[in-house]
Chain A
């Protein structure tokens, strides 16, 4: 199949065919990660810059391993060690990097829309590794791959997502992705953590965790970002945990074979109890494993073929 997108900025502007094609490609790349020699020459001679303006271990490492397994040259730039601290603007930083002729820039930024802004101004491909509270496409794709591997097909499934939705780019990408693939999405969280008009994205909104997870096929718990809003949006972590934490007893409301997902890093005892996080229904580490394969697929697909248009 032909894959036209030159950039991966969000799930919103990908078609169902493109999403399925990315997942199929990732399945094939997954095999490389199980070999003794985990390297293929597919992207030999390509230069990929990991431009991370926000802290990240999982996503950055995952993109780096993905690029290296495809034989691309990977360069890591993090904000704390770059010219950003000296006052350079995003656009100037990007143009300076572009002058060194990279083929792909993978960017994480605290401002929503930062990746779209760069994609309009640069000649190389841009992959969004999380921009503000907007989108985190590679996370939604690895979640979809994990669900598909467990459930066979995403169409017709019920997926519950609970936590701080307002500040979560993971949720937004997941709602777009799961809706496009035909799943029913139920959201749960305290009123202070749910943005107004969430229903318009095509999901059911609950203010009660139990209502959302009843009969769900998949449960996705979100991290309470203690460093940000944890202090002001909820009275206490203990209270949040009591009403919105997933534990052995409320997990029984979901389907017997439901899977428990979390984009990480997890706060044990806050949004998810230790026994659930380590329980047999958890697929959290499979998500991480699939992350490498999905990112290999993204790097490969934006590199290949002659792109007809710019986005």
Chain B
């Protein structure tokens, strides 16, 4: 079957969405004090790096950045065929800190559940917020993002693909329809 590809966001669109999310994060948290970004491997960690740059540009002060791999916390071990486990790298204590979890696409919410468990296993943050580039619906768990780049109602069998360039910067978002 032929696959139809529809562009949802181009590189300017991604850029604007991330800029807005950066402003929203700063507004809601009143600056960067006690704040840290944690990206979910691999798409989310690329986006978290981009958000970090934007926040530094806007606010003029640095913000902590970490990466988390949720594979060890997933609930689909037996049915999963890609068994790669990436490195978790959170070089700061989580206690008393406000964490913004960053991922590219929010779908069933299971990855976010795993990420929250992973963070809680490492420390006790003051709160966890969620920033997402594309929310495509179909939640299977009571999870709601705080910062959304684009709301996009989809059918279950469609796919969302976020393209990154060779410098790991998000270039475009596509919808793949069979």
What is A's interface to B at a CB cutoff of 8 Å? Answer: 1-3, 21, 24-25, 27-29, 31-32, 35-37, 39-43, 70, 297, 300-301, 303-306
Contact = CB atoms under 8 A, between A and B. Distances in A.
B85 A300 contact: yes
Interface stretch (B16-24, B71-79, B170-178): B71-79
Secondary structure at the A interface, as helix, strand, loop or mixed, is: loop
Given A24-B84, A25-B83, A42 B122 contact: no
Contacts of B81: 2, 305-306
Contacts of A35: 121-122
A304 B121 contact: no
Contacts of B73: 40-42
B80 A28 contact: no
Contacts of B72: 29, 32, 40-42, 70
Contact of A25 (B85, B88, B117, B122): B85
Contacts of A43: 77
B69 interface: yes
Interface in B116-131: 117-118, 121-123
B119 to A, nearest CB: 12
Contact of B80 (A29, A32, A305): A305
Given A2-B83, A300-B83, A304-B83, A39 B121 contact: yes
B155 interface: no
Interface of B: 69, 71-73, 77-89, 117-118, 121-123
Contacts of A303: 77-78
Given A39-B121, A41-B117, A305-B77, 7 more contacts: A28-B71, A35-B122, A36-B123, A301-B83, A303-B78, A305-B78, A305-B82
B25 to A, nearest CB: 27
Given A300-B83, A305-B83, A42 B69 contact: no
A1 B82 contact: yes
A27 B121 CA distance: 19
A42 B74 CA distance: 7
A14 to B, nearest CB: 15
Nearest to A297: B85
A306 B81 CA distance: 7
B86 A28 contact: yes
29 contacts: A1-B83, A2-B81, A2-B83, A21-B84, A28-B69, A28-B85, A28-B86, A29-B72, A29-B85, A31-B87, A31-B88, A36-B122, A36-B123, A37-B121, A37-B122, A40-B72, A40-B73, A40-B118, A41-B72, A41-B117, A297-B85, A301-B83, A303-B78, A305-B77, A305-B78, A305-B82, A306-B78, A306-B79, A306-B81
